[in-house]
Amino acid sequence: IGFFVSNLQIPVSLLFVVRIISGGTGGPTNKHKPWIETEYQGIVMENDNTVLLNPPLFALDKDAPLHYAGKDADNVFEAVVLDRSTGEGLVRSKEPLDCESQKEHSFTIQAYDCGEGPDGTNSKKSHKATVHVRVNDVNEFSPVFVERRYEASVSEGRLFDRIVRVEAIDADCSPQYSQICFYDIITPNVPFTIDNDGNIKNTEPLDSKRQRVHSFWVTAFDCGKNRAQADAQVIVTVKPSCKPGWIGWTKRIEYTPGSGSIPLFPNLHLEACEETVWNIQATVELQTGHIGKGCDRDSYSDRSVRRLCGAVRGEVDLLPPPSPATNWTTVLPTLPSSDSSLVFSFNGSTHVAVVPDSVASAVSGDHFTLQLWMRRGGAKEETIICSTVKNDDSYSHYSLSVHGCRLSLFYWPDVSATRPVKFLWKLEQVCDSEWHHLSLSVQFPSVTLYVDGVTFDPALIHDNGAIPNPAPQQRLVIGACWGNFTIRKFVSGYKGLLSGVTVRPGNVEPHSVVECLYACREGLDFGDLETLGSGMKVHVNPSQSVLVLEGDDIESFNRAVQQVTYRNSLRFATPGVRPLKLTTSLRCFSEESCLSLIQLEGYLVVLQPDAPQISLSGVGPHLARPAAEFEGPQGVPLFPELRIRIIQSFSVSLLALMSDAVAHTLDGCEVQPLGEELNPEREELLVDMEALKERGLDIINTTAYIAITGAESISVYEDVLRSIRYRLAKGSARFERRFRLSCSEMNGRYTSNELTLEVNFLHSLDSLYHPSHLLASQQQFLHPSHHTGELSGHTLPNPHRNSVVPGAATVIIMVCVGFLVVMVILGVFRIRSIHRRSEGARGGGKEGSSQWDDSALNIIVNPMETYENHMGIATDMEGECDDEEEVVDSPDDTSDDQRIIIKKEGRDSAPRRY
């Protein structure tokens, strides 16, 4: 019996055939085939060549036992007969096997008997059987590291789940010997550990100051406990701790007025500590609300700003300062404001202003512009203004209200109509407790709303008559609305602050004017939009107090932040502190580990600007005119040659090249009489009211002062002040009157020098020395009248608590006249005593007989004598009076019965009591 090995599947090694021949010459006939198993499983070791088969290899033949086996016909495996009598065989490899090259082999085997004859021509073969041989691995290879050196860097002060991962491989083919069972750190006393997967982590927080670089060695073992051929080196570099956030933040920033725009964060950049960020948003807030309403309302009042912006004149102030003429605002409490405008407080119930019908009728019509400043934060329905006005023979009605964060305007073109029109806006500005400017232009049926200079479109609603029609009775109420016209009940009271509530009838305000009214000349800005990187966005709110940057790249974002600037184009920037905030939000791919940055706070300090020097000159200090000119119908101009100049420093002059239109503009001048207030029965100051009205200036004319207000150019104020005249009533001229003139700019922030003018009245013979006139002057000084008062917050300075004190020349003249009266009386007594005496003293008697008699005293005065000669004569007389032994101290010593008769050649005048 022999065995034949043939190919069963690809790939296999060389197959061979073993032929076993049985029987001999002349033996029995070969009738039966050999028989073997149909399939065999075999295992062979890499370091062995005998294949262990399951089941064992046996070939059976019923004819005869085995005589010999055939030779091998293959080069890898061969099958041999171990016992011919039993048919036992063996499969073995002819050369060493390699599991790493091929783990399994498959081939077929077939048995042959010996047949008849020595040549085996009559042999028979068995069926084919399949043999599967698996080559078992031997742990012949050691682990090898993929890299000989591993490096990593970490931040100090943290524990990491994994710093670096090392990896080793094994060339053995079996899982038992090819897998790495564990790794080991062979360097002792290092703050690191390694797991069976090769992950290395630190066991304690690392300190870069104590040790910047850690170096150690690791090894690997396979599951056959073979150690790596070569160990691997691990180097860990410790970086100083990375604190995510903004680097280069400056808490205090100084701004010098006149610098234009300056970058706020020139060295600021964001450190993300290698965190992958896909969205960054930064909000910069500059708080300027404490300066005034809006952004720069401390510079000029609302009325002045309107004039400078070119607004159409004719607006009616519905909340004017309280005064006898505008008493409907006296019930409203006022709050202090940094600008010159008044801020009125409303409590929602008792604080209501009812505008007189005379004012309400002036703002009638369906074309008007309503403007106001408001600040509130309530949630209830509140009425700001409620108006029912008469227009010809019909009545129209409108009501401006707020309900939470909604602003609504109800408008009835005619109160007889059953369906009003409702305009509704949803605005956060009406409920955020901040100052906002509202401008409502009504050109029915069109309504335009501007909030802080930005247009908002309404949702138009036609009401179905749910709102009761107002009674056809003219009423204009601020802070509430009429609930009942009969019992005067108010409803829907407003709770908040209002200021600058004005209505101008006629055409609506142009958009350019509204934008100018709220235009901010101080705030945040972005330097150069051309340098804005790809994916970057920038947004600035209308008041320029909030700037938002958004981007997705840290480098581009850092460059954009450094372009954020502070701009101040005011000629005279308001000094002080502006709080500054920077809020940042980040979005990362891993939301759990995304960075969270704290809000940064700082402040911008605007330094004190170089104050302009307002110089008043060309007047005084004395103005001497005949009294008759003052008593004329036009009076005498007080400041005919007034000159106003503004002297500025070099830095402010440079700013004039880029300054706004309000530069070199005065906003008020005041003329104040010194000493006593003006007596309306005897004296007055005349102002051309038509010229003031034409130029849009306001005036407050009282006996204590005259105040002219309104933003206007220097030339206009010069013309107005030069036209002020001082007029006296007939016979009211005294000897002098003093006035003081001052002007201001920027709501009184910068004031001029105080120009004092002394007005002297030159009297003729009849007026200066007439006894009755002198007596009247004495009585005036003997019985002075005092007037004090306050108006609109102006306290009247009264340095002289008594009556007006006459000038030096007047005092000297009065003393000498009294002295002459005494001498006349003494002369009369001495003349009478001459007849009683036989002889008197030579000097005294002779002089008395030649100079003094009982005739009337004649005094000749030149009426054309100048004011300077009067002053000189008075000085000489003062010297003569000082040489006498008896001196009269004051005209007050003169008795009321004293009479002085003055005669002038060619003119008779009746004696008057003085």
Domain count, the chain: 5
For the ranges 16-20, 426-430, 908-912, the maximum mean pLDDT occurs at 426-430
Residue 477 domain flag = yes
pLDDT at 240: 84
Higher-pLDDT residue of 896, 112: 112
pLDDT at 836: 58
Angle formed at CA 745 by CA 742 and CA 751, multiple of 5 degrees: 40
Place of tokens 């500005």: 429
Lowest mean pLDDT across 108-112, 132-136, 308-312: 308-312
pLDDT at 289: 67
Nearest residue to 185 (alpha-carbon basis) of 219, 147, 215, 208: 219
Pair 19, 120: CB distance under 8 Å? yes
pLDDT tens for residues 901-911?
333 333 333 33
pLDDT at 197 over 80: yes
Confidence class for position 129, pLDDT limits 50, 70, 90: confident
pLDDT at 515: 75
pLDDT at 212: 93
Higher-pLDDT residue of 583, 321: 583
pLDDT at 661: 40
Q: What value does the mean pLDDT take over residues 13-31?
A: 44
Q: What value does the mean pLDDT take over residues 483-510?
A: 78
pLDDT at 757 over 60: yes
Say yes or no: 355 and 447 in one domain: yes
Say yes or no: 276 and 152 in one domain: no
Lowest mean pLDDT across 129-143, 457-471, 537-551: 457-471
Within 621-757, where are the H helices? 627-630, 650-655, 689-695, 714-722
Domain limits at 628? Answer: 613-647+664-762
Q: Tell me what percent of the chain is helix, strand and coil, each rounded to the nearest 5.
A: 15, 35, 45
CATH number of the domain encompassing residue 97: 2.60.40.60
Q: What value does the mean pLDDT take over residues 128-142?
A: 82
pLDDT at 184 over 90: yes
Residue 597 domain flag = yes
pLDDT tens for residues 588-619?
877 666 778 889 999 999 998 877 788 999 88
Higher-pLDDT residue of 69, 552: 552
- Angle, helices 867-883 vs 808-834, to 10°: value is 50
Q: What value does the mean pLDDT take over residues 744-749?
A: 80
Secondary structure element (H or E) that encloses residue 818, with its range: helix 808-834
pLDDT at 586: 87
Confidence class for position 233, pLDDT limits 50, 70, 90: very high
Q: How far apart (Å, rounded) are the C-alpha atoms in residues 468 and 907? A: 84
Lowest mean pLDDT across 207-221, 314-328, 471-485, 643-657: 643-657
Does the CA dihedral 323-328-330-335 come out positive or negative?
negative
Residue 873 domain flag = no
Say yes or no: 166 and 260 in one domain: no
Lowest mean pLDDT across 372-386, 640-654, 685-699, 824-838: 824-838
Pair 61, 32: CB distance under 8 Å? yes
Lowest mean pLDDT across 318-327, 570-579, 797-806: 797-806
Structure tokens at 264: 């706020």
Q: How far apart (Å, rounded) are the C-alpha atoms in residues 189 and 615? A: 85
Final residue of a structural domain among 239, 256, 277? 239
Say yes or no: 384 and 454 in one domain: yes
Q: How far apart (Å, rounded) are the C-alpha atoms in residues 512 and 510? A: 5
Structure tokens at 169: 């491989």
- Angle, helices 808-834 vs 842-851, to 10°: value is 110
Burial 162-195 (b: 16+ CB within 10 A, else e): ebbebebebebbbeebbebeebebeeeebebebe
pLDDT at 642: 92
pLDDT at 128: 85
Say yes or no: 572 and 687 in one domain: no
pLDDT at 448 over 50: yes
Beta bridge partners of 550: 281, 537
pLDDT at 484: 58
Higher-pLDDT residue of 496, 888: 496
Q: How far apart (Å, rounded) are the C-alpha atoms in residues 520 and 440? A: 20
Q: How far apart (Å, rounded) are the C-alpha atoms in residues 532 and 548? A: 13
Residue 49 domain flag = yes
Say yes or no: 73 and 212 in one domain: no
Give, in order, the Cα–Cα distances in Å from 864 to each of 46, 280, 362, 867, 869.
152, 90, 56, 9, 10
Higher-pLDDT residue of 791, 471: 471
CATH number of the domain encompassing residue 425: 2.60.120.200
Higher-pLDDT residue of 239, 167: 167
pLDDT at 691: 85
Q: How far apart (Å, rounded) are the C-alpha atoms in residues 905 and 908? A: 8
Q: How far apart (Å, rounded) are the C-alpha atoms in residues 737 and 625? A: 12
First-to-final CA distance of the chain: 180
User: In the structure, how many helices (H) and strands (E) does the chain have?
Assistant: 14, 60
What is the pairing mode between strands 600-606 and 252-255? parallel
pLDDT at 120: 55
Higher-pLDDT residue of 895, 736: 736
pLDDT at 670: 93
Residue 816 domain flag = no
pLDDT at 230: 92
Mean of pLDDT over the chain: 75
For the ranges 188-197, 385-394, 753-762, the maximum mean pLDDT occurs at 188-197
Residue 799 domain flag = no
- Residues with Cβ within 8 Å of 445's Cβ and at least 6 positions away in sequence, in order, are 421
Query: Which DSSP string corresponds to 57-102?
Result: -B-B-SS--EEEEPPP--SSEEEEEEETTTTEEEEEESS---TTT-
Angle formed at CA 290 by CA 285 and CA 292, multiple of 5 degrees: 110
- Single-letter amino acid code for the residue at 240: P
Measured from the Cβ of residue 866, the count of other Cβ atoms closer than 10 Å reads 11
pLDDT at 368: 85
Confidence class for position 462, pLDDT limits 50, 70, 90: low
Structure tokens at 435: 């100052």
Q: What value does the mean pLDDT take over residues 297-323?
A: 75
Q: What value does the mean pLDDT take over residues 662-669?
A: 74
Q: How far apart (Å, rounded) are the C-alpha atoms in residues 187 and 360? A: 96
pLDDT at 853 over 70: no
Does the CA dihedral 429-430-431-434 come out positive or negative?
positive
Omega before 324 cis (within 30°)?
Answer: no
Structure tokens at 403: 């309900």
Q: What value does the mean pLDDT take over residues 305-332?
A: 82
Determine what percent of the chain is predicted with pLDDT higher than 90.
21
Nearest residue to 496 (alpha-carbon basis) of 377, 627, 643, 663: 377
Q: What value does the mean pLDDT take over residues 730-755?
A: 85
What is the pairing mode between strands 636-637 and 725-728? antiparallel
pLDDT at 322: 85
Say yes or no: 324 and 206 in one domain: no
Residue 28 domain flag = no
pLDDT tens for residues 265-294?
999 999 887 778 888 999 999 987 666 666
Say yes or no: 365 and 250 in one domain: no
pLDDT at 429 over 70: yes
pLDDT at 318 over 70: yes
pLDDT at 327: 87
Final residue of a structural domain among 498, 517, 536? 517
Confidence class for position 68, pLDDT limits 50, 70, 90: very low
pLDDT at 495 over 60: yes
Q: How far apart (Å, rounded) are the C-alpha atoms in residues 365 and 397? A: 10
Structure tokens at 485: 């016209």
Pair 121, 22: CB distance under 8 Å? no
pLDDT at 293: 67
pLDDT at 717: 92
Final residue of a structural domain among 136, 163, 190? 136
Structure tokens at 876: 């000489």
- Residues with Cβ within 8 Å of 466's Cβ and at least 6 positions away in sequence, in order, are none
pLDDT at 116: 62
Structure tokens at 697: 């200036």
Say yes or no: 328 and 314 in one domain: yes
CATH number of the domain encompassing residue 706: 2.60.40
Pair 158, 244: CB distance under 8 Å? no
Pair 310, 662: CB distance under 8 Å? no
Q: How far apart (Å, rounded) are the C-alpha atoms in residues 307 and 516? A: 11
Q: What value does the mean pLDDT take over residues 70-82?
A: 62
Q: Where are any strands of DSSP class E within 336-463?
A: 343-347, 353-355, 367-375, 381-391, 394-403, 406-412, 421-426, 436-443, 446-451, 454-456, 459-462
Nearest residue to 469 (alpha-carbon basis) of 408, 415, 388: 415
pLDDT at 468 over 70: no
Residue 78 domain flag = yes
Q: What value does the mean pLDDT take over residues 829-844?
A: 54
pLDDT at 469: 61
Say yes or no: 543 and 672 in one domain: no
DSSP, res 627: H
Lowest mean pLDDT across 41-55, 99-113, 428-442, 790-804: 790-804
Say yes or no: 264 and 183 in one domain: no
Nearest residue to 117 (alpha-carbon basis) of 55, 73, 49, 67: 67
Q: How many residues does the chain have?
A: 914
pLDDT at 111: 80
pLDDT at 415: 67
pLDDT at 506: 79
Lowest mean pLDDT across 152-166, 642-656, 697-711, 898-912: 898-912
Say yes or no: 326 and 221 in one domain: no
